[in-house]
């Protein structure tokens, strides 16, 4: 498992690499544009190319995941907001791809009380259209677009794996779409994983719905709020309501090894994740792995990982066609009603 954190881009994208290295991160995440403003960052192609070159040759920070703007809402029925959201998502995909990111994480948006059914198809088609538009600008396929599960507040979309699976199904199983699973959102939405059995049930649910081949990133956070409260509030690992044991049960699952695991926590000094926070994450993971190895040695079962998937090359291409479904993906993704 590759451990890292969301890092600041103050002073420019290039500074983020140094910050990630300073906290002993294998992987880093930052926003492709200011998360709460429509205006994009004023960086030219030369800066993006220099960043990609430095990342490709960096000895310790090996993987970049970008996060899309929080303002994007592909589920809105407001024409003006929808146009801005489409343009911003296309731009975020283009920037992330030029930086060499493996993926761009997106909060699917909010139906604002209308329910998922009336907006799901349009959301899925707009996501695919943004991927197509980014590919046209780039002259190649963009990085993957990962839909993140949500804590379930208000009309937010992605409160369950079934909702994410429905969007992927309506996107015709486009292989450029996947998911990012956030541990705090999962807990706040009412999904337990404290025991190994519960953690295996979560992984099994991913396999049955969206498929393990589409799970490409973990956001690893403890929770400031109790179980099932549908509120998005992150806490440092071991200092919240989830706790180290539950996080270890999930992070240690055999099917999740090799994924980027990114901290989005306040940090021990409340200035963002530090080296000590990553050390805690690695210790939690190691403890969970020991418990899983003991279980398997006793003959216990675990949901199996998917076959290896092609790694993205520096030019953004893989050996797979864009319409090929990820390894282990059902056709179409199964849904539990």
Paired residues of 64 in beta bridges: 28
Q: Which of 19, 31, 91, 107 is catalytic?
A: 107
Q: Are 281 and 288 contacting, i.e. CB atoms less than 8 angstroms apart?
A: no
Q: Which of 98, 159, 214, 219 is catalytic?
A: 219
Rounded CA-CA distance 288/292 in Å is 6
Annotation says 185 is catalytic: yes
What whole-number distance in Å separates Cα of residue 51 and Cα of residue 46? 9
Asked about 234 being catalytic, the answer comes back as yes
Classify residue 276 as exposed, middle or buried by CB count within 10 Å of its CB (0-12, 13-18, 19+).
middle
HEC secondary structure over 94-146: HHHHHHCCCEEEECCCECCCCCCHHHHHHHHHHHHHHHHHHHHHHCCCCCEEE
Is residue 216 among the annotated active site residues? Answer: no
Q: Which one is catalytic: 31, 98, 111, 185? A: 185
| Catalytic-role residue among 163, 182, 222, 277 | 182
Active site residue 200: no
Based on the residue annotation, tell me whether 182 is a catalytic residue of this protein: yes
Which residue is catalytic, options 67, 214, 253, 312? Answer: 67
Beta strand spans in the chain (E): 2-6, 27-31, 63-67, 103-106, 144-148, 177-182, 215-220, 222-223, 234-235, 260-263
Q: Each residue of 209-242: b (16+ CB within 10 Å) or e?
A: bbbbbbbbbbbbbbbbbeeebbbbebbbbbbbbb
- Catalytic residue, chosen from 58, 231, 264, 289, is 264
- Catalytic residue, chosen from 111, 176, 234, 253, is 234
- Which of 26, 102, 169, 232 is catalytic? The answer is 232
Burial status of residue 319 (CB atoms within 10 A of its CB: 0-12, 13-18, 19 or more): exposed
Q: Is 31 a catalytic residue?
A: no
Active-site residue (options: 126, 148, 169, 277): 148
C-alpha angle 285-286-289 in degrees, rounded to nearest 5: 85
Tokens of 220: 């690893």
67 is catalytic: yes
297 in helix, strand or coil? helix
- Positions marked catalytic: 36, 67, 70, 107, 148, 182, 185, 219, 232, 234, 264
């Amino acid at each position: 498992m590759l451990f890292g954190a969301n890092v600041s881009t103050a002073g420019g994208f290039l500074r983020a690499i140094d910050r990630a290295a300073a906290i002993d991160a294998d992987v880093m995440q930052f926003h492709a544009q200011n998360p709460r403003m429509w205006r994009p960052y004023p960086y030219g192609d030369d800066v993006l190319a220099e960043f990609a070159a430095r990342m490709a040759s960096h000895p310790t920070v090996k993987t970049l995941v970008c996060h899309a703007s929080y303002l994007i809402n592909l589920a809105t029925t407001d024409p003006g907001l929808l146009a801005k959201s489409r343009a911003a998502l296309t731009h975020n995909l283009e920037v992330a791809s030029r930086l060499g990111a493996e993926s761009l994480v997106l909060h699917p948006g909010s139906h604002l009380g209308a329910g998922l059914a009336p907006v799901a198809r349009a959301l899925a088609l707009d996501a695919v259209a943004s991927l197509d538009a980014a590919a046209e600008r780039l002259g190649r396929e963009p990085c993957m677009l990962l839909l993140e599960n949500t804590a379930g507040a208000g009309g937010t979309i992605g409160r369950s794996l079934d909702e994410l699976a429905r969007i992927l199904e309506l996107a015709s199983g486009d292989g450029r779409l996947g998911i990012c699973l956030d541990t705090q959102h999962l807990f706040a939405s009412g999904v337990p994983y404290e025991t190994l059995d519960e953690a295996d049930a979560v992984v099994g649910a991913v396999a049955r719905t969206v498929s393990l081949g589409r799970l490409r990133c973990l956001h690893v956070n403890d929770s400031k709020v109790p179980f099932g409260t549908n509120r998005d509030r992150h806490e440092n690992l071991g200092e919240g309501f989830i706790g180290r044991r539950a996080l270890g049960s999930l992070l240690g699952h055999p099917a999740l090894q090799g994924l980027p695991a990114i901290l989005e926590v306040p940090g021990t000094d409340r200035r963002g994740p530090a080296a000590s926070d990553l050390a805690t994450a690695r210790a939690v993971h190691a403890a969970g792995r020991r418990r899983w190895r003991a279980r398997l040695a006793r003959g216990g079962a675990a949901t199996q990982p998917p076959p290896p998937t092609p790694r993205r090359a520096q030019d953004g291409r893989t050996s797979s066609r864009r319409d090929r479904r990820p390894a282990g993906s059902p056709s179409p993704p199964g849904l539990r009603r």
